[in-house]
């Protein structure tokens, strides 16, 4: 599912201009459910299938073991019920239901302004569909991921929730959007799994309008011996963990003005404004 009105903003390569156009397919209330889009400059086509616009097509897109596990059969269906509903309880040592997390992210992203928001590494769409519900008629959300399994599940859950955000399969290190087209961006845990988080943050800044807001939830470097041992093991699969100072430097270098960091145990919430 992808909102037809957003296609002109989609550039499979950032330099592509103009954006995609709709060729044919099944459409409902302005949302493409299945079909084909095309880049006029080259004639290359990109399908909308299984609930998402696929800009990667035959390309895998995963760069490390942490990414590739999201391609496993059943990864999409199992992610939220088996892990996401209780992950912050375990990581923070607090009562931290999804609703509390979503409230923090919405506030830090400036959702009250309305507009177009990007969910980086949307997984099964927890942020995407809940931000879409909160925005209502005042804006839109695009969920981006590389995993077909996650995106198919994200679209299914969105439909069952009665909302119609857009979903796209693309690489966060080369965001397929026009410059300064997004009001805000959110990212739930994905920053830890990226091979080059600095590049993704620079790309996010490019896609955000001046004054646009970024809100990120992620995991800090452990401070206990057992925690450090576990994180050393996880890092062999490509997962990175950050010191608070590293996060501030990453955001600043990418062109953001960071807010003070909010921490709950091993979990951080970072927010920043695009300079």
Statement: residue 57 has pLDDT above 90? no
Task: Choose between 265 and 182: higher pLDDT.
Answer: 182
Ordered alpha helix ranges (H), 208-264: 225-235, 244-254
Distance CA 76, CA 135 (A): 25
**What is the rounded distance in angstroms from the CA atom of residue 129 to the CA atom of residue 227?**
32
Token duo for residue 53: 């616009």
* Per-residue confidence (pLDDT) for residue 38, from 0 to 100: 97
State how far the Cα of 271 lies from the Cα of 215, in Å rounded to an integer.
Answer: 4
pLDDT at 70: 60
**Strand residue runs (E) in the chain:** 2-3, 21-28, 31-38, 45-49, 52-54, 115-120, 139-145, 166-169, 182-188, 208-219, 256-258, 262-264, 267-274
CATH fold of 58-274: Rossmann fold (3.40.50)
User: 213-256, pLDDT tens digit by residue?
Assistant: 999 999 998 878 777 777 777 777 678 889 999 999 999 999 99
> Does the CA dihedral 79-81-84-86 come out positive or negative?
negative
And the tokens for 124? 């099964």
Q: Structure tokens of 49?
A: 């299938």
Domain boundaries, the chain: 58-274
Res. 59: pLDDT tops 80: no
Query: Chain-centre distance of CA 243, in angstroms?
Result: 22
- Measured in whole angstroms, the distance separating CA 2 from the mean position of its chain's CA atoms is 15
Question: Predicted confidence band at 13 (pLDDT cuts at 50, 70, 90)?
Answer: confident
Question: Which pLDDT belongs to residue 199?
Answer: 96
Q: Are 94 and 200 in contact (CB under 8 A)?
A: no
CB-side neighbour CA atoms (13 Å) of 199: 8
Calpha distance 207→203 (Å, rounded): 6
- For 102-149, the pLDDT digits (tens) are 999 999 999 999 999 999 999 999 999 999 999 999 999 999 999 999
């Amino acid at each position: 599912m992808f909102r037809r009105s957003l296609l002109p903003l989609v550039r499979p390569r950032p330099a592509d201009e103009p954006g995609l156009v709709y060729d044919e397919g099944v459409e409902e209330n302005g949302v493409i459910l299945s079909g084909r889009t095309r880049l006029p400059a080259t004639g290359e086509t990109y399908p909308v299938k299984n609930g998402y616009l696929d800009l990667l097509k035959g390309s895998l897109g995963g760069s490390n073991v942490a990414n590739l596990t999201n391609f496993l059969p059943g990864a999409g269906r199992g992610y939220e019920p088996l892990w996401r509903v209780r992950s912050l309880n375990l990581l923070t040592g607090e009562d931290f239901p999804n609703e509390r997390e979503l409230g923090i992210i919405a506030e830090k992203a400036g959702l009250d302004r309305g507009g177009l928001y990007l969910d980086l590494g949307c997984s099964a769409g927890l942020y995407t569909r809940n931000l879409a519900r909160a925005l209502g008629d005042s804006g839109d959300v695009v969920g981006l991921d590389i995993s077909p399994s996650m995106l198919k599940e994200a679209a299914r859950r969105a439909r069952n929730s009665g909302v119609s955000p857009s979903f796209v399969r693309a690489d966060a290190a080369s965001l397929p959007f026009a410059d300064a087209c997004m009001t805000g961006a959110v990212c739930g845990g994905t920053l830890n799994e990226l091979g080059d988080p600095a590049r993704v943050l620079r790309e996010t800044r490019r896609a955000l309008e001046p004054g646009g807001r970024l809100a990120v939830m992620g995991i800090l470097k452990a401070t206990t011996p057992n925690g450090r041992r576990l994180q050393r093991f996880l890092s062999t699969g490509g997962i990175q963990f950050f010191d608070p100072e590293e996060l501030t430097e990453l955001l600043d270098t990418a062109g953001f003005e960071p807010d003070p960091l909010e921490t709950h145990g091993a979990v951080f919430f970072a927010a920043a404004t695009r300079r």
